[in-house]
Amino acid sequence: MKEKYDLIMAGTSFASTFFLKKYLEKAPSTAKVLVLERGKMLSHAQRLSFAREQKYGLNSFISSLSQQNPTFDNTRSSKPWIFDPNFGGSSNCWTGCTPRFMPNDFKLRSVYGIGKDWPLSYAQLEPFYCEAEELMQISGPSQTPYPMSRKYPLPAHALSTTDKIMQEHYGPLYISQPTARASRATGNRGTCCTTSICHLCPVNAKFTIENTFLHLYSDPRVNIQYESQVYALDLNNDKVNAVHYTAQNKERKAEGEVVALGTNAIFNSHILLNSGDSHPLTGKGLSEQVGIYAYVYLGHGMDNVGGSSTITANGFMWYDGPHRKERAACIIENHNDPFIRNERGRWRQMMKLKFVFEDLPQNDNLVSVSESDKLIPSAEYKTHSAYTQRGIDFLHANIEKLFSFLPVEKIDLDDFNQPTEAHILGTVRMGKTIKDGVVDHKLSHHQYRNLFVLGGSSFPAITPSNPTLTISALSLRAAELSF
Ligand SMILES: Cc1cc2nc3c(=O)[nH]c(=O)nc-3n(C[C@H](O)[C@H](O)[C@H](O)COP(=O)(O)OP(=O)(O)OC[C@H]3O[C@@H](n4cnc5c(N)ncnc54)[C@H](O)[C@@H]3O)c2cc1C
Protein backbone atom coordinates (compact mmCIF):
# COMPACT_ATOMS: atom_id res chain seq x y z
CA MET A 1 0.00 0.00 0.00
CA LYS A 2 1.27 3.50 -0.85
CA GLU A 3 1.89 5.87 2.03
CA LYS A 4 0.46 9.39 1.35
CA TYR A 5 0.91 12.46 3.54
CA ASP A 6 0.16 16.19 3.56
CA LEU A 7 3.66 16.86 4.87
CA ILE A 8 6.76 14.68 4.93
CA MET A 9 9.55 16.06 7.06
CA ALA A 10 13.10 14.74 7.40
CA GLY A 11 15.00 15.40 10.65
CA THR A 12 13.84 16.42 14.13
CA SER A 13 16.22 19.20 15.16
CA PHE A 14 15.82 23.01 15.05
CA ALA A 15 15.18 23.39 11.31
CA SER A 16 12.47 20.73 11.23
CA THR A 17 10.88 21.18 14.64
CA PHE A 18 10.32 24.94 14.41
CA PHE A 19 8.74 24.33 10.99
CA LEU A 20 6.56 21.56 12.44
CA LYS A 21 5.53 23.72 15.39
CA LYS A 22 4.12 26.43 13.14
CA TYR A 23 2.73 23.93 10.63
CA LEU A 24 0.70 22.13 13.33
CA GLU A 25 -0.69 25.45 14.58
CA LYS A 26 -2.06 26.17 11.11
CA ALA A 27 -2.92 22.73 9.72
CA PRO A 28 -6.42 21.21 10.00
CA SER A 29 -7.12 18.38 12.44
CA THR A 30 -7.23 15.96 9.50
CA ALA A 31 -3.65 16.72 8.37
CA LYS A 32 -1.30 13.74 8.05
CA VAL A 33 2.37 14.32 8.75
CA LEU A 34 5.19 11.79 8.39
CA VAL A 35 8.47 12.56 10.18
CA LEU A 36 11.52 10.53 9.17
CA GLU A 37 14.41 10.59 11.64
CA ARG A 38 17.57 8.70 10.78
CA GLY A 39 18.64 8.22 14.40
CA LYS A 40 17.18 7.02 17.67
CA MET A 41 15.47 8.68 20.58
CA LEU A 42 18.16 8.99 23.28
CA SER A 43 16.62 10.83 26.21
CA HIS A 44 18.51 13.32 28.37
CA ALA A 45 18.35 10.78 31.23
CA GLN A 46 19.85 8.06 29.03
CA ARG A 47 22.58 10.41 27.84
CA LEU A 48 23.44 11.35 31.44
CA SER A 49 23.67 7.73 32.54
CA PHE A 50 25.81 6.87 29.51
CA ALA A 51 28.05 9.84 30.31
CA ARG A 52 28.51 8.71 33.91
CA GLU A 53 29.65 5.28 32.72
CA GLN A 54 31.94 6.59 30.03
CA LYS A 55 33.42 9.63 31.80
CA TYR A 56 32.22 11.56 28.81
CA GLY A 57 34.30 14.77 28.63
CA LEU A 58 33.91 17.45 25.99
CA ASN A 59 36.98 16.36 24.05
CA SER A 60 36.03 12.70 23.88
CA PHE A 61 32.53 13.79 23.00
CA ILE A 62 33.70 15.98 20.10
CA SER A 63 36.05 13.34 18.79
CA SER A 64 33.25 10.78 18.96
CA LEU A 65 31.14 13.10 16.80
CA SER A 66 33.87 13.93 14.32
CA GLN A 67 36.34 11.09 13.83
CA GLN A 68 34.14 8.06 14.13
CA ASN A 69 31.09 9.55 12.45
CA PRO A 70 30.11 7.00 9.82
CA THR A 71 27.26 9.10 8.41
CA PHE A 72 29.43 10.90 5.85
CA ASP A 73 32.77 10.58 4.12
CA ASN A 74 35.19 13.31 5.20
CA THR A 75 38.35 11.69 3.89
CA ARG A 76 39.06 14.41 1.34
CA SER A 77 39.58 17.12 3.98
CA SER A 78 40.92 17.44 7.49
CA LYS A 79 38.19 19.75 8.74
CA PRO A 80 35.77 18.14 11.18
CA TRP A 81 32.01 18.73 10.83
CA ILE A 82 30.31 17.75 14.07
CA PHE A 83 26.64 17.03 14.76
CA ASP A 84 24.43 14.53 16.56
CA PRO A 85 22.43 12.36 14.14
CA ASN A 86 19.60 11.41 16.51
CA PHE A 87 16.23 12.74 17.65
CA GLY A 88 16.65 16.46 18.38
CA GLY A 89 19.92 16.56 16.40
CA SER A 90 22.56 18.90 17.77
CA SER A 91 20.07 20.57 20.11
CA ASN A 92 21.26 17.79 22.44
CA CYS A 93 24.85 18.96 22.40
CA TRP A 94 24.79 22.63 21.37
CA THR A 95 26.10 25.34 23.73
CA GLY A 96 23.04 27.54 23.37
CA CYS A 97 24.60 30.86 22.28
CA THR A 98 21.87 32.83 20.51
CA PRO A 99 22.78 36.38 19.48
CA ARG A 100 20.65 37.69 16.60
CA PHE A 101 22.25 38.69 13.32
CA MET A 102 22.76 42.40 12.66
CA PRO A 103 20.54 44.16 10.09
CA ASN A 104 23.49 44.68 7.73
CA ASP A 105 24.27 40.94 7.72
CA PHE A 106 21.28 40.60 5.41
CA LYS A 107 22.58 43.20 2.93
CA LEU A 108 26.34 42.75 2.73
CA ARG A 109 26.39 43.32 -1.03
CA SER A 110 24.26 46.46 -1.12
CA VAL A 111 25.90 48.13 1.91
CA TYR A 112 29.52 46.94 1.62
CA GLY A 113 29.80 45.58 -1.94
CA ILE A 114 30.82 42.16 -0.56
CA GLY A 115 29.35 38.67 -0.86
CA LYS A 116 25.62 38.32 -1.35
CA ASP A 117 22.50 39.95 0.04
CA TRP A 118 19.93 37.71 1.62
CA PRO A 119 16.57 37.75 -0.20
CA LEU A 120 14.89 38.93 3.00
CA SER A 121 15.58 41.72 5.44
CA TYR A 122 16.16 41.84 9.18
CA ALA A 123 12.77 43.58 9.51
CA GLN A 124 11.01 40.70 7.74
CA LEU A 125 12.60 38.17 10.07
CA GLU A 126 12.24 40.24 13.25
CA PRO A 127 8.78 38.96 14.37
CA PHE A 128 10.05 35.39 13.98
CA TYR A 129 13.20 36.18 16.00
CA CYS A 130 10.86 37.31 18.80
CA GLU A 131 8.81 34.12 18.50
CA ALA A 132 11.85 31.83 18.45
CA GLU A 133 13.29 33.65 21.49
CA GLU A 134 10.01 33.21 23.34
CA LEU A 135 9.81 29.49 22.45
CA MET A 136 13.43 28.89 23.52
CA GLN A 137 13.08 31.19 26.57
CA ILE A 138 16.24 33.09 25.76
CA SER A 139 18.06 34.96 28.54
CA GLY A 140 19.40 38.28 27.39
CA PRO A 141 20.05 41.94 28.18
CA SER A 142 17.75 44.94 27.77
CA GLN A 143 20.19 46.79 25.49
CA THR A 144 21.46 45.18 22.28
CA PRO A 145 23.35 46.39 19.20
CA TYR A 146 20.47 45.12 17.02
CA PRO A 147 16.90 46.46 17.21
CA MET A 148 14.35 44.34 19.13
CA SER A 149 10.59 44.89 19.19
CA ARG A 150 10.20 42.58 22.21
CA LYS A 151 12.40 42.09 25.28
CA TYR A 152 14.18 38.81 25.93
CA PRO A 153 11.86 36.53 27.94
CA LEU A 154 14.40 35.75 30.70
CA PRO A 155 16.77 38.14 32.51
CA ALA A 156 20.37 38.48 31.32
CA HIS A 157 23.10 36.31 32.84
CA ALA A 158 25.42 38.09 35.28
CA LEU A 159 28.56 39.60 33.77
CA SER A 160 32.01 38.79 35.12
CA THR A 161 34.15 41.46 36.78
CA THR A 162 36.09 42.18 33.58
CA ASP A 163 32.90 42.16 31.49
CA LYS A 164 31.57 44.98 33.65
CA ILE A 165 34.60 47.12 32.86
CA MET A 166 34.38 46.24 29.18
CA GLN A 167 30.69 47.17 29.15
CA GLU A 168 31.37 50.48 30.88
CA HIS A 169 33.81 51.27 28.07
CA TYR A 170 31.95 49.90 25.04
CA GLY A 171 28.30 50.38 26.10
CA PRO A 172 25.75 48.41 24.02
CA LEU A 173 28.51 46.95 21.84
CA TYR A 174 29.46 44.73 24.78
CA ILE A 175 26.54 42.79 26.25
CA SER A 176 25.65 39.80 28.40
CA GLN A 177 25.46 36.96 25.90
CA PRO A 178 21.93 36.19 24.69
CA THR A 179 21.56 32.47 25.35
CA ALA A 180 19.27 29.44 25.56
CA ARG A 181 21.05 28.52 28.84
CA ALA A 182 18.26 29.57 31.19
CA SER A 183 19.11 32.26 33.75
CA ARG A 184 16.20 30.97 35.84
CA ALA A 185 14.16 27.78 35.77
CA THR A 186 11.53 27.67 33.04
CA GLY A 187 9.24 24.91 31.74
CA ASN A 188 11.05 21.58 32.11
CA ARG A 189 14.42 23.33 32.40
CA GLY A 190 16.57 24.14 35.43
CA THR A 191 18.74 27.22 36.01
CA CYS A 192 22.15 27.26 34.29
CA CYS A 193 24.69 25.75 36.71
CA THR A 194 27.74 27.50 35.14
CA THR A 195 29.74 24.25 35.14
CA SER A 196 30.42 24.58 31.38
CA ILE A 197 29.38 21.02 30.59
CA CYS A 198 26.95 22.42 28.07
CA HIS A 199 27.34 19.61 25.53
CA LEU A 200 25.28 17.55 28.01
CA CYS A 201 23.76 20.04 30.41
CA PRO A 202 23.69 18.30 33.83
CA VAL A 203 20.61 20.27 34.95
CA ASN A 204 18.80 20.39 31.59
CA ALA A 205 18.94 24.21 31.61
CA LYS A 206 19.62 24.82 27.95
CA PHE A 207 16.84 24.54 25.37
CA THR A 208 16.66 21.19 23.61
CA ILE A 209 14.04 19.82 21.29
CA GLU A 210 13.41 17.07 23.82
CA ASN A 211 12.87 19.28 26.88
CA THR A 212 10.52 21.70 25.11
CA PHE A 213 9.00 20.21 21.96
CA LEU A 214 8.75 16.46 22.50
CA HIS A 215 4.94 16.78 22.67
CA LEU A 216 4.78 17.89 19.03
CA TYR A 217 5.87 14.42 17.99
CA SER A 218 2.96 12.78 19.80
CA ASP A 219 0.38 15.04 18.14
CA PRO A 220 -2.24 12.65 16.66
CA ARG A 221 -1.56 14.09 13.20
CA VAL A 222 2.12 13.14 13.36
CA ASN A 223 3.62 9.74 12.61
CA ILE A 224 7.32 9.68 13.54
CA GLN A 225 9.53 6.86 12.27
CA TYR A 226 13.01 6.45 13.77
CA GLU A 227 16.02 4.88 12.08
CA SER A 228 14.61 6.00 8.74
CA GLN A 229 17.13 7.72 6.51
CA VAL A 230 15.93 9.85 3.61
CA TYR A 231 18.29 9.59 0.65
CA ALA A 232 16.41 10.87 -2.42
CA LEU A 233 13.27 12.58 -3.71
CA ASP A 234 11.18 12.02 -6.83
CA LEU A 235 11.53 15.35 -8.63
CA ASN A 236 9.16 15.91 -11.56
CA ASN A 237 9.09 19.18 -13.54
CA ASP A 238 8.33 21.74 -10.81
CA LYS A 239 7.31 19.40 -7.98
CA VAL A 240 8.55 16.82 -5.55
CA ASN A 241 6.15 13.88 -5.42
CA ALA A 242 7.75 11.34 -3.13
CA VAL A 243 10.51 10.66 -0.63
CA HIS A 244 12.78 7.61 -0.72
CA TYR A 245 14.18 6.33 2.55
CA THR A 246 15.62 3.26 4.18
CA ALA A 247 14.17 1.67 7.31
CA GLN A 248 15.19 -1.67 8.80
CA ASN A 249 17.49 -2.12 5.81
CA LYS A 250 14.55 -1.93 3.41
CA GLU A 251 13.98 0.72 0.78
CA ARG A 252 10.70 2.57 1.20
CA LYS A 253 8.82 5.36 -0.49
CA ALA A 254 6.19 7.82 0.77
CA GLU A 255 4.19 10.40 -1.20
CA GLY A 256 3.70 13.91 0.12
CA GLU A 257 1.91 17.13 -0.90
CA VAL A 258 4.68 19.12 0.79
CA VAL A 259 8.19 17.92 1.66
CA ALA A 260 10.51 19.66 4.15
CA LEU A 261 14.16 18.67 4.58
CA GLY A 262 15.84 19.67 7.86
CA THR A 263 18.77 17.28 7.87
CA ASN A 264 21.60 19.88 8.04
CA ALA A 265 23.75 21.31 5.27
CA ILE A 266 25.62 18.07 4.56
CA PHE A 267 22.55 15.88 4.09
CA ASN A 268 20.09 18.45 2.67
CA SER A 269 22.37 19.03 -0.30
CA HIS A 270 23.22 15.33 -0.62
CA ILE A 271 19.55 14.36 -0.82
CA LEU A 272 19.03 16.98 -3.56
CA LEU A 273 22.10 15.84 -5.49
CA ASN A 274 21.03 12.18 -5.19
CA SER A 275 17.65 13.19 -6.63
CA GLY A 276 19.16 14.80 -9.72
CA ASP A 277 18.77 18.47 -8.71
CA SER A 278 21.01 20.13 -11.27
CA HIS A 279 21.09 23.65 -9.86
CA PRO A 280 24.74 24.72 -10.22
CA LEU A 281 24.89 25.88 -6.58
CA THR A 282 23.46 22.72 -4.99
CA GLY A 283 26.13 21.21 -2.73
CA LYS A 284 28.48 24.19 -3.18
CA GLY A 285 29.66 26.61 -0.48
CA LEU A 286 30.00 24.30 2.54
CA SER A 287 31.25 26.70 5.22
CA GLU A 288 31.22 28.11 8.73
CA GLN A 289 32.87 30.82 10.79
CA VAL A 290 36.53 30.78 11.87
CA GLY A 291 37.36 31.12 15.58
CA ILE A 292 40.60 31.98 17.41
CA TYR A 293 41.28 32.09 21.16
CA ALA A 294 43.16 34.86 22.93
CA TYR A 295 44.38 34.97 26.54
CA VAL A 296 44.65 38.40 28.15
CA TYR A 297 46.92 38.46 31.23
CA LEU A 298 45.71 41.12 33.66
CA GLY A 299 47.79 43.11 36.12
CA HIS A 300 47.14 45.16 39.28
CA GLY A 301 45.31 42.35 41.09
CA MET A 302 42.45 42.43 38.61
CA ASP A 303 40.56 39.14 38.88
CA ASN A 304 38.21 37.94 36.18
CA VAL A 305 35.58 36.24 38.35
CA GLY A 306 31.81 35.93 38.59
CA GLY A 307 29.52 35.61 35.62
CA SER A 308 26.62 33.18 35.67
CA SER A 309 27.16 31.14 32.50
CA THR A 310 29.84 29.48 30.41
CA ILE A 311 30.20 32.35 27.95
CA THR A 312 29.36 35.54 29.75
CA ALA A 313 29.42 38.21 27.07
CA ASN A 314 29.47 39.06 23.39
CA GLY A 315 31.48 41.99 22.00
CA PHE A 316 30.35 43.66 18.77
CA MET A 317 33.20 46.21 18.58
CA TRP A 318 34.62 44.70 15.38
CA TYR A 319 31.33 43.41 14.01
CA ASP A 320 29.48 45.85 11.77
CA GLY A 321 30.96 48.90 10.03
CA PRO A 322 32.75 50.11 6.91
CA HIS A 323 35.68 47.74 7.64
CA ARG A 324 33.46 45.02 6.16
CA LYS A 325 34.25 46.42 2.70
CA GLU A 326 37.77 45.06 3.25
CA ARG A 327 37.81 42.44 5.96
CA ALA A 328 35.52 40.04 7.76
CA ALA A 329 33.34 41.06 10.69
CA CYS A 330 34.04 39.45 14.05
CA ILE A 331 32.02 38.68 17.18
CA ILE A 332 33.84 38.31 20.49
CA GLU A 333 32.96 35.84 23.26
CA ASN A 334 34.23 36.04 26.84
CA HIS A 335 34.66 32.45 28.03
CA ASN A 336 34.04 31.49 31.64
CA ASP A 337 34.85 27.76 31.61
CA PRO A 338 37.28 26.49 34.24
CA PHE A 339 40.70 27.86 33.23
CA ILE A 340 43.48 29.26 35.36
CA ARG A 341 46.53 31.42 34.89
CA ASN A 342 49.44 29.19 35.81
CA GLU A 343 50.88 31.53 38.45
CA ARG A 344 50.46 31.24 42.20
CA GLY A 345 47.97 33.77 43.63
CA ARG A 346 47.04 35.05 40.20
CA TRP A 347 44.87 32.15 39.09
CA ARG A 348 42.06 34.21 37.61
CA GLN A 349 43.92 37.34 36.51
CA MET A 350 43.24 36.42 32.93
CA MET A 351 40.51 36.66 30.29
CA LYS A 352 39.92 33.88 27.77
CA LEU A 353 38.26 35.28 24.69
CA LYS A 354 37.24 33.82 21.38
CA PHE A 355 37.20 35.93 18.21
CA VAL A 356 34.82 34.46 15.64
CA PHE A 357 35.00 35.69 12.03
CA GLU A 358 32.41 35.62 9.28
CA ASP A 359 33.15 33.88 5.98
CA LEU A 360 31.95 34.06 2.39
CA PRO A 361 30.99 30.65 0.96
CA GLN A 362 33.53 29.28 -1.55
CA ASN A 363 32.21 27.03 -4.31
CA ASP A 364 35.13 24.63 -4.08
CA ASN A 365 34.17 23.72 -0.50
CA LEU A 366 31.44 21.26 -1.25
CA VAL A 367 29.26 18.23 -0.66
CA SER A 368 29.02 15.61 -3.40
CA VAL A 369 27.54 12.17 -3.93
CA SER A 370 29.92 9.32 -3.28
CA GLU A 371 30.36 6.81 -6.05
CA SER A 372 30.09 3.73 -3.90
CA ASP A 373 27.19 4.42 -1.54
CA LYS A 374 24.03 6.48 -2.09
CA LEU A 375 23.55 6.83 1.69
CA ILE A 376 26.93 8.46 2.34
CA PRO A 377 27.65 12.03 1.22
CA SER A 378 31.18 13.17 0.66
CA ALA A 379 32.40 16.48 2.17
CA GLU A 380 35.38 18.42 0.91
CA TYR A 381 36.71 21.63 2.47
CA LYS A 382 39.83 23.48 1.35
CA THR A 383 39.94 26.73 3.29
CA HIS A 384 38.19 29.95 4.28
CA SER A 385 38.07 33.07 2.08
CA ALA A 386 40.76 35.73 1.70
CA TYR A 387 38.21 38.18 3.16
CA THR A 388 38.12 36.15 6.38
CA GLN A 389 41.91 35.89 6.43
CA ARG A 390 42.17 39.70 6.24
CA GLY A 391 39.96 39.89 9.36
CA ILE A 392 42.23 37.41 11.14
CA ASP A 393 45.36 39.33 10.08
CA PHE A 394 43.82 42.53 11.44
CA LEU A 395 43.19 40.80 14.78
CA HIS A 396 46.85 39.73 15.02
CA ALA A 397 48.03 43.28 14.35
CA ASN A 398 45.53 45.14 16.52
CA ILE A 399 44.29 43.03 19.41
CA GLU A 400 45.99 45.22 22.07
CA LYS A 401 43.88 48.22 21.05
CA LEU A 402 40.69 46.54 22.28
CA PHE A 403 42.00 46.41 25.86
CA SER A 404 44.00 49.67 26.05
CA PHE A 405 42.03 50.86 29.12
CA LEU A 406 42.69 47.64 31.12
CA PRO A 407 45.90 46.82 33.05
CA VAL A 408 47.13 44.26 30.52
CA GLU A 409 50.52 42.53 31.06
CA LYS A 410 50.50 40.48 27.88
CA ILE A 411 48.19 38.91 25.35
CA ASP A 412 48.71 35.42 23.94
CA LEU A 413 46.81 34.95 20.72
CA ASP A 414 46.67 31.41 19.37
CA ASP A 415 48.64 31.11 16.14
CA PHE A 416 46.18 28.50 14.90
CA ASN A 417 42.46 28.68 14.15
CA GLN A 418 40.00 26.40 15.92
CA PRO A 419 39.29 23.31 13.79
CA THR A 420 35.55 23.96 13.92
CA GLU A 421 32.88 26.26 15.29
CA ALA A 422 30.42 23.30 15.05
CA HIS A 423 28.24 25.05 12.48
CA ILE A 424 27.43 23.54 9.06
CA LEU A 425 26.23 26.09 6.55
CA GLY A 426 25.82 27.21 2.98
CA THR A 427 25.22 24.25 0.60
CA VAL A 428 21.69 25.13 -0.61
CA ARG A 429 21.96 28.88 -0.57
CA MET A 430 19.01 31.25 -0.87
CA GLY A 431 18.72 33.93 -3.51
CA LYS A 432 16.14 36.29 -4.93
CA THR A 433 16.01 34.45 -8.25
CA ILE A 434 16.83 30.92 -9.40
CA LYS A 435 20.08 32.31 -10.83
CA ASP A 436 21.17 33.66 -7.43
CA GLY A 437 20.22 30.73 -5.25
CA VAL A 438 18.68 27.29 -4.92
CA VAL A 439 15.92 28.33 -2.50
CA ASP A 440 13.92 31.54 -2.12
CA HIS A 441 13.33 33.81 0.90
CA LYS A 442 10.91 31.28 2.44
CA LEU A 443 13.34 28.38 1.86
CA SER A 444 11.15 26.94 -0.87
CA HIS A 445 13.15 25.46 -3.77
CA HIS A 446 13.10 27.85 -6.73
CA GLN A 447 12.22 25.01 -9.10
CA TYR A 448 10.38 22.44 -6.96
CA ARG A 449 7.92 24.73 -5.26
CA ASN A 450 6.43 22.26 -2.76
CA LEU A 451 9.89 21.45 -1.39
CA PHE A 452 11.32 23.34 1.61
CA VAL A 453 15.02 23.03 2.29
CA LEU A 454 15.35 24.26 5.87
CA GLY A 455 18.34 25.11 8.05
CA GLY A 456 21.75 26.73 7.73
CA SER A 457 22.26 25.22 4.27
CA SER A 458 20.28 28.25 3.07
CA PHE A 459 22.69 30.93 4.38
CA PRO A 460 24.11 32.96 1.46
CA ALA A 461 26.69 34.65 3.74
CA ILE A 462 28.21 33.24 6.91
CA THR A 463 27.70 35.87 9.61
CA PRO A 464 29.93 35.96 12.71
CA SER A 465 26.95 35.30 15.03
CA ASN A 466 25.96 31.74 15.92
CA PRO A 467 23.40 30.50 13.40
CA THR A 468 20.78 28.48 15.25
CA LEU A 469 18.41 31.20 16.46
CA THR A 470 18.25 32.43 12.86
CA ILE A 471 17.75 28.86 11.53
CA SER A 472 14.79 28.52 13.91
CA ALA A 473 13.28 31.90 13.01
CA LEU A 474 13.59 31.11 9.28
CA SER A 475 11.75 27.80 9.80
CA LEU A 476 8.90 29.49 11.68
CA ARG A 477 8.63 32.02 8.85
CA ALA A 478 8.77 29.34 6.14
CA ALA A 479 5.89 27.41 7.72
CA GLU A 480 3.88 30.60 8.28
CA LEU A 481 4.23 31.57 4.61
CA SER A 482 3.47 28.04 3.37
CA PHE A 483 -0.26 28.45 4.16
C1 LIG B 1 29.01 20.91 20.17
C2 LIG B 1 28.13 21.90 19.43
C3 LIG B 1 27.90 23.17 19.97
C4 LIG B 1 27.09 24.09 19.28
N5 LIG B 1 26.82 25.31 19.86
C6 LIG B 1 26.03 26.19 19.21
C7 LIG B 1 25.70 27.45 19.81
O8 LIG B 1 26.10 27.76 20.92
N9 LIG B 1 24.91 28.32 19.10
C10 LIG B 1 24.44 28.02 17.86
O11 LIG B 1 23.76 28.85 17.26
N12 LIG B 1 24.72 26.83 17.29
C13 LIG B 1 25.48 25.90 17.93
N14 LIG B 1 25.76 24.70 17.36
C15 LIG B 1 25.21 24.42 16.02
C16 LIG B 1 23.76 23.97 16.12
O17 LIG B 1 23.67 22.83 16.90
C18 LIG B 1 23.24 23.72 14.70
O19 LIG B 1 23.26 24.95 13.99
C20 LIG B 1 21.81 23.22 14.71
O21 LIG B 1 21.68 22.04 15.45
C22 LIG B 1 21.35 22.96 13.28
O23 LIG B 1 20.03 22.47 13.31
P24 LIG B 1 19.47 21.61 12.11
O25 LIG B 1 18.08 21.26 12.45
O26 LIG B 1 19.68 22.34 10.84
O27 LIG B 1 20.42 20.32 12.00
P28 LIG B 1 20.95 19.22 13.03
O29 LIG B 1 20.90 19.70 14.42
O30 LIG B 1 22.25 18.73 12.50
O31 LIG B 1 19.88 18.05 12.91
C32 LIG B 1 19.67 17.31 11.73
C33 LIG B 1 18.55 16.33 12.00
O34 LIG B 1 18.29 15.57 10.82
C35 LIG B 1 18.46 14.18 11.08
N36 LIG B 1 18.94 13.61 9.82
C37 LIG B 1 20.15 13.84 9.21
N38 LIG B 1 20.18 13.21 8.02
C39 LIG B 1 18.99 12.61 7.86
C40 LIG B 1 18.41 11.84 6.79
N41 LIG B 1 19.09 11.60 5.67
N42 LIG B 1 17.16 11.35 6.95
C43 LIG B 1 16.45 11.59 8.10
N44 LIG B 1 16.96 12.32 9.13
C45 LIG B 1 18.19 12.84 9.00
C46 LIG B 1 19.42 14.14 12.25
O47 LIG B 1 19.37 12.91 12.94
C48 LIG B 1 18.88 15.31 13.08
O49 LIG B 1 17.69 14.99 13.74
C50 LIG B 1 26.52 23.75 18.02
C51 LIG B 1 26.75 22.46 17.49
C52 LIG B 1 27.53 21.53 18.18
C53 LIG B 1 27.74 20.17 17.57
pLDDT at 472: 99
- pLDDT for the residue numbered 67: 57
Q: Of 222, 464, 125, 154, which is closest to residue 320 (Cα–Cα)?
A: 464
Give me the residues paired with residue 335 across strands.
Answer: 311, 352
Q: What pLDDT does 392 receive?
A: 98
Res. 359: pLDDT tops 80: yes
Q: State the Cα–Cα distance between residues 387 and 115, nearest whole angstrom.
A: 10
Q: Is the pLDDT of residue 229 over 60?
A: yes
Cα(469) to ligand 1 centroid in Å equals 12
Which pLDDT tens digit goes with each residue over 360-371?
Answer: 999 999 999 987
Q: What is the pLDDT of residues 295-326, one digit of tens each?
A: 999 998 999 999 999 999 999 999 999 999 99
Residue 423 is classified by DSSP as -
Residue 55: pLDDT over 80: no
Q: CA nearest 265: which of 438, 407, 110?
A: 438
DSSP character string of 160-173: BHHHHHHHHHHGGG
Element (H, E) at 233: strand 228-236
Classify residue 219 as exposed, middle or buried by CB count within 10 Å of its CB (0-12, 13-18, 19+). middle
264 lines ligand 1 (CB under 6 A): yes
Q: Rounded to whole angstroms, how far apart are CA atoms 108 and 361?
A: 13
Judge if the beta carbon of residue 19 lies within 6 A of ligand 1: no
Interval between CA 477 and ligand 1 midpoint (Å): 19
Considering the chain, what percentage of its residues have pLDDT values greater than 90?
Answer: 91
In the DSSP assignment, the letter for residue 74 is -
Q: What is the mean pLDDT of residues 44-54?
A: 86
Residue 77 has pLDDT above 90, yes or no: no
More confident residue, 314 or 48: 314
Residue 371 has what pLDDT?
79
Closest to 238 in 3D by CA, of 442, 427, 31, 444: 444
Cβ of 36 closer than 6 Å to ligand 1, yes or no, is: yes
Q: Which amino acid is at 454?
A: L
Looking at the predicted structure, is the pLDDT value of residue 59 above 80? no
Question: How far apart are the C-alpha atoms of 391 and 171, rounded to whole Å?
Answer: 23
Rounded mean pLDDT, 365-380: 92
Q: Which atom of ligand 1 is nearest to the CA of 62?
A: 1
Tens of pLDDT, residue by residue over 171-204, are: 999 999 999 999 999 999 999 999 999 999 999 9
Query: Distance between CA atoms of 288 and 328, rounded to whole angstroms?
Result: 13
3-class secondary structure, 187 = coil
Collapse the DSSP code of 293 into the 3-class scheme (helix H, G, I; strand E, B; otherwise coil) and give the result.
strand
Q: Give the model's pLDDT for residue 1.
A: 55
Whether residue 337 is predicted with pLDDT greater than 70 in this model: the reply is yes
- Dist CA 152 CA 176 (whole Å): 12
Return the number of other C-beta atoms located less than 10 Å from residue 67's C-beta. 10
If you measure from the C-alpha of residue 89 to the centroid of ligand 1, how many angstroms do you get, rounded to a whole number? 5
Residue 134: CB atoms within 10 Å: 12
Closest to 162 (Cα-Cα) out of 304, 315, 313, 339: 304
Average pLDDT in the 51-75 region? 70
Pocket test for ligand 1, best of 8, 12, 13, 312 (most atoms within 8 A of CB): 13
